[in-house]
Amino acid sequence: MAVTEADKIFKEFREHSAAEFFKKNRQMLGYSGAGRSLVTIVHEYVTNSLDACEEAGILPDIKVVVRKVENQHSNNRYAVIVSDNGPGIPKGYVGKALATIFAGTKFHRHIQQRGQQGIGAAGCLLFSQITTGKPIFVKSSTGRGHAYSCFISLNTANNKPIIENMVDIDEEFIGLSVEGEFSEIRYESGDHGVLEYLRRTALSNPHAKISLVDPSGQELVFMRAVEKMPERPKVAKPHPLGLSANDLLEFSHLSNSRKISSFLTDTFARTTPNKVGELKDADPSIDLDKDPKKMGWDDAEKIINAFRKVKWVAPDASSIVPIGEDQIKVALSNILNPDHMSVTQRTPKVFRGGVPFIVEAAVTYGGNSGKKDDDGYSGNILRFANRVPLLFDSGVCAITQAVKGIDWRRYSIDIESQPVSILVNVSSVYIPYSGVGKEAISQEAEIVEEIKLAVMEAARGVQRYVRGQDQMNFNFNRYKAISRYIKQLSKDLGDLTGEDSSSIETKLNKVISKHFPKPKEQASQVNPYLDGAVSDASDKTPVDG
């Protein structure tokens, strides 16, 4: 048989593992630039620690150590150690948990968590391996003397972990410690460094204690601001709104129900037998007695169209756990110490795929809000997704686009020249990130609109305060301007009338004070605008370090 051109071409046909793909495309995981790569490493391990502690009901105590490693071949080599007090990892799962891409406890579960794809920790190991050739070192204990240590590397050809020197250790602790050595990274200060990332993590997770030992050996500690664990989210069912025909077919093929009617009530949130009846009324041609596994594309499209004709109750908020208004106020007082803040939380909404989400927003003014430089102040946008800070790719993020799409002049706020911080946190079972690096939220229309509404609602609370401050400053400036001439005017009137100039000055001061309150009096008049602000210094918890 003659060899065709197609045969020649397909002699090079190969299958590749996920590890091989990301080995060649590490920038997709966030490893693009020395400073960003270090933050990505810390981000992946810290979010895993927070998830593990919360799922076990443990108040997180997380320590991050970044240490410079002297190396003749590289000036940008560091050791990174992240330790926690969580439940640890059993021996049989440590390789898959820390060194297998697309393996984990999160992707297949319809429950809100920080991690989603099962890439993060394995991506860190892969980056260590391709930049230094070294494995990571792990110590873990699940309690009751079950402590061990080992070295783990990754076989990129088959995406399988290689575990070496697994030994039991005689140490009394519960938790996990991961240590890796990385090159092509750099410790940086500023808005895109590890310290800023951990500062924002502490802000959005006030129940966690987080410490950092930087390359200079200095330890900075963000103390736990609240002693209460956040509520654990419940496993969520998809909401009918936002589903596509393809989504419906995929769910139907996994169903054990015998009829479409029971499949709908068993699989989707807010879908009661009465609601199924409304679907039938919306489209009588829907065969609700049909086996879900035999559902075709036309059947699915009919049901999706019927979904859109029926009124639905909002998604159940118990499947989503945002930061919470009280926790945001405590955290912002702790970190930013603003003169005023306004916090809001929207009701749950649904976006593509029937996935519910909640947006919460805060606007702060004064204190340590905004950014300060030699030219003055400018606003600062603090972006979060499931309480995780987003430091990079701000230009393509739904949060940035929504905030910049607001006419801030309507709220007497100038985010280009005033000390203002805008915090936005999007919480969901599934965050639609724009890339696997998880640094920006995709600009889904429903999410952008909700963010705008949340921020505008918070901005209205600050608007009253800013206007009160402006009025107070205006009155005070008028008072000062007029006061400059009182002494000279009193002297001149005294010369003209023969009266004592000091007596005239006293009378003039009384007239001016009646029309223009003094600063202390003005401050008391502006106090009504301080609703929602934390004004008692005793309520503010300092940050150690």
Report how far residue 59's alpha carbon sits from residue 208's, in angstroms, rounded to the nearest whole number.
6
Query: Within this chain, do residues 262 and 206 fall inside the same structural domain, yes or no?
Result: no
Of 270, 236, 238, nearest to 252 by C-alpha is 238
What is the tens place of the pLDDT at every residue in 124-154? Answer: 998 899 899 999 999 999 987 789 999 999 8
Query: Within this chain, do residues 301 and 198 fall inside the same structural domain, yes or no?
Result: no
User: Does residue 111 register a pLDDT over 70?
Assistant: no
Instruction: Report how far Cα 395 is from the mean position of its chain's Cα atoms.
Output: 16
Q: Which amino acid is at 98?
A: L
User: Does residue 158 register a pLDDT over 90?
Assistant: no
> What integer pLDDT is reported at residue 539 of this predicted model?
37
Report how far residue 222's alpha carbon sits from residue 129's, in angstroms, rounded to the nearest whole number.
31
H-state helical runs in 91-212: 94-99, 120-132, 194-204
Q: How confident is the model at residue 45 (pLDDT cuts 50, 70, 90)?
A: very high
Q: How confident is the model at residue 543 (pLDDT cuts 50, 70, 90)?
A: very low
Q: What is the dihedral of CA 224, 229, 233, 234, to 10 degrees?
A: 160
| Tokens encoding 155 | 């076989």
Query: Within this chain, do residues 218 and 250 fall inside the same structural domain, yes or no?
Result: no
Considering 289, 309, 329, which residue would you say is the last residue of a domain? 309
Least confident of 10-19, 171-180, 291-300, 429-438: 10-19
Could you tell me which residues come within 8 angstroms of residue 543 by beta carbon, excluding any fewer than 6 positions away? Answer: 202, 220, 221, 222, 223, 334, 335
What single-letter DSSP state applies at residue 333? H
Query: Within this chain, do residues 264 and 196 fall inside the same structural domain, yes or no?
Result: no
Q: Is the dihedral of CA 335, 341, 347, 352 positive or negative?
A: negative
Query: Within this chain, do residues 179 and 291 fall inside the same structural domain, yes or no?
Result: no
Please report whether residue 486 resides in a domain: yes
Considering 309, 330, 345, which residue would you say is the last residue of a domain? 309
What is the tens place of the pLDDT at every residue in 414-430? Answer: 888 889 999 999 998 88
Planar angle of CA 378, 380, 383, nearest 5 degrees: 165
Report how far residue 383's alpha carbon sits from residue 437's, in angstroms, rounded to the nearest whole number.
15
Query: Within this chain, do residues 93 and 138 fall inside the same structural domain, yes or no?
Result: yes
> What integer pLDDT is reported at residue 469 of this predicted model?
62
User: Does residue 531 register a pLDDT over 60?
Assistant: no
CATH of the domain at 184: 3.30.565.10
> What integer pLDDT is reported at residue 542 of this predicted model?
35
Please report whether residue 8 resides in a domain: no
What is the tens place of the pLDDT at every residue in 205-244? Answer: 999 999 999 999 999 999 998 898 888 877 777 888 878 8
> What integer pLDDT is reported at residue 150 of this predicted model?
96
Query: Within this chain, do residues 287 and 194 fall inside the same structural domain, yes or no?
Result: no
Query: Within this chain, do residues 283 and 157 fall inside the same structural domain, yes or no?
Result: no
Please report whether residue 125 resides in a domain: yes
Of 343, 451, 351, nearest to 402 by C-alpha is 451
Report how far residue 392's alpha carbon sits from residue 399's, in angstroms, rounded to the nearest whole number.
12
| Tokens encoding 318 | 């118990």
Percent of the chain residues past pLDDT 70, beyond the cut = 83
Please report whether residue 232 resides in a domain: no
Residue numbers of the domain that contains 87: 18-222
Considering 292, 309, 326, which residue would you say is the last residue of a domain? 309
Could you tell me which residues come within 8 angstroms of residue 516 by beta carbon, excluding any fewer than 6 positions away? Answer: 475, 476, 478, 479, 482
What single-letter DSSP state applies at residue 374? T
Query: Within this chain, do residues 147 and 285 fall inside the same structural domain, yes or no?
Result: no
Please state, rounded to an integer, the average pLDDT across all residues of the chain.
83
What single-letter DSSP state applies at residue 164? E
User: Does residue 286 register a pLDDT over 90?
Assistant: yes
> What integer pLDDT is reported at residue 477 of this predicted model?
61
| Tokens encoding 215 | 């390359």
Please report whether residue 467 resides in a domain: no
Could you tell me which residues come within 8 angstroms of residue 347 by beta carbon, excluding any fewer than 6 positions away? Answer: 314, 317, 358
Planar angle of CA 43, 48, 50, nearest 5 degrees: 95
Query: Within this chain, do residues 253 and 215 fall inside the same structural domain, yes or no?
Result: no
Please report whether residue 524 resides in a domain: yes
Domain count, the chain: 3
Is the CB of residue 258 less than 8 Å from the CB of residue 264? Answer: no
Please report whether residue 265 resides in a domain: yes
Query: Within this chain, do residues 78 and 181 fall inside the same structural domain, yes or no?
Result: yes
User: Which has more pLDDT, 495 or 116?
Assistant: 495
Least confident of 81-90, 105-114, 372-381, 418-427: 105-114
> What integer pLDDT is reported at residue 118 of this predicted model?
52
Please report whether residue 403 resides in a domain: no
Query: Within this chain, do residues 41 and 98 fall inside the same structural domain, yes or no?
Result: yes
